[in-house]
């Protein structure tokens, strides 16, 4: 892939293969044709809590992007930074309304679905596996219902038309996790299921998915 980065230093992305937040940024980097060094952080082993990693991100979450002297965390902030610094393949439409719908859909995923899903692992000791599944289904389901309603008036081939934009970067990993990780019944979300199929045909999305990452288990 063409470098596209300015300066001498290659971008570095601290990532975990299964992290949907990291996946959003991996898609953005791929779309913009930016090469990066993959720095694996094993969340199961707790590497996000190490003193070295916490120097990069004091809250102990992936993703973290390093671009020369710039160290950034939070997928939304990272993507907005990439958008301004590397304007090739815009992640936002110029139409103001469509842009706002992209922010809205992205934030439903990042504020109202993913953090609750992330929390499930902290409460799972207190829950049996059926209760854990219903916690996850309930929170993903609420968000997915809202997204179906929101996007029905805007979707084309992708979430807000026939071009890929920010909303798609947030939706693709979340839908992928719902299907592959949580076995969610997607028949209630036909639009999201259709988007999932459209994403699976795009190399920038396919190559960003968990199973394609260097730290993914081989089996």
Ligand X SMILES: N[C@@H](CCC(=O)N[C@@H](CS)C(=O)NCC(=O)O)C(=O)O
Which two tokens mark 34?
Answer: 């930016």
3 state SS of 63 = coil
**Shortest separation between residue 170's beta carbon and ligand X, angstroms:** 9
Which two tokens mark 20?
Answer: 């949907």
CB distance 71 to 82 below 8 Å: no
Q: Residues of 125-148 as b/e, b for ≥16 C-beta within 10 angstroms?
A: eeeeeeebeebbbebbbebbeebb
Distances (CA, A) of 30 to 27, 83, 122, 198: 5, 13, 32, 16
Q: CA angle 88-91-95, nearest 5°?
A: 110
d(CA 188, CA 71): 40
User: How many other C-beta atoms are found inside a 10 Å radius of the C-beta of residue 52?
Assistant: 7
**Shortest separation between residue 157's beta carbon and ligand X, angstroms:** 25
CB distance 34 to 81 below 8 Å: no
Sole residue written with tokens 């190399």? 203
Comparison of 41 and 164: residue with beta carbon closer to ligand X: 41
**Shortest separation between residue 35's beta carbon and ligand X, angstroms:** 21
Comparison of 53 and 189: residue with beta carbon closer to ligand X: 53
Comparison of 5 and 48: residue with beta carbon closer to ligand X: 48
Comparison of 160 and 174: residue with beta carbon closer to ligand X: 174
Which two tokens mark 58?
Answer: 């004091």
Comparison of 83 and 191: residue with beta carbon closer to ligand X: 83
Comparison of 48 and 102: residue with beta carbon closer to ligand X: 48
**Shortest separation between residue 74's beta carbon and ligand X, angstroms:** 4
**Shortest separation between residue 110's beta carbon and ligand X, angstroms:** 5
**Shortest separation between residue 214's beta carbon and ligand X, angstroms:** 17
Name the residues that contact ligand X, by CB under 6 A. 19-21, 43, 48, 60-63, 74-76, 110, 118
């Amino acid at each position: 892939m063409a470098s596209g980065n300015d300066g001498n230093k290659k971008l570095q992305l601290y990532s975990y293969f299964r992290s949907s937040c990291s996946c959003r940024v991996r898609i953005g980097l791929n779309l913009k044709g930016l090469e990066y060094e993959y720095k694996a952080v094993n969340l199961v082993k707790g590497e996000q809590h190490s003193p070295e990693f916490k120097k990069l991100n004091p809250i102990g979450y992936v993703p973290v992007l390093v671009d020369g002297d710039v160290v950034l965390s939070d997928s939304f902030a990272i993507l907005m930074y990439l958008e301004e610094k590397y304007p090739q393949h815009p992640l936002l439409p110029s139409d103001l309304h469509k842009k706002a719908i992209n922010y809205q859909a992205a934030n439903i995923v990042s504020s109202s679905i993913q953090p609750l899903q992330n929390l499930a692992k902290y409460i799972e000791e207190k829950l049996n596996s059926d209760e854990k599944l219903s916690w996850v289904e309930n929170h993903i389901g609420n968000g997915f219902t809202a997204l179906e309603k929101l996007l029905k008036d805007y979707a084309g081939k992708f979430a807000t038309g026939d071009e890929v934009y920010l909303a798609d970067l947030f939706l693709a990993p979340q839908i992928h996790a719902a299907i592959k990780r949580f076995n969610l019944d997607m028949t209630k979300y036909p639009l999201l299921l259709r988007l999932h199929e459209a994403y699976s045909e795009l190399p920038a999305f396919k190559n960003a998915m968990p199973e394609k990452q260097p730290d993914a288990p081989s089996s």
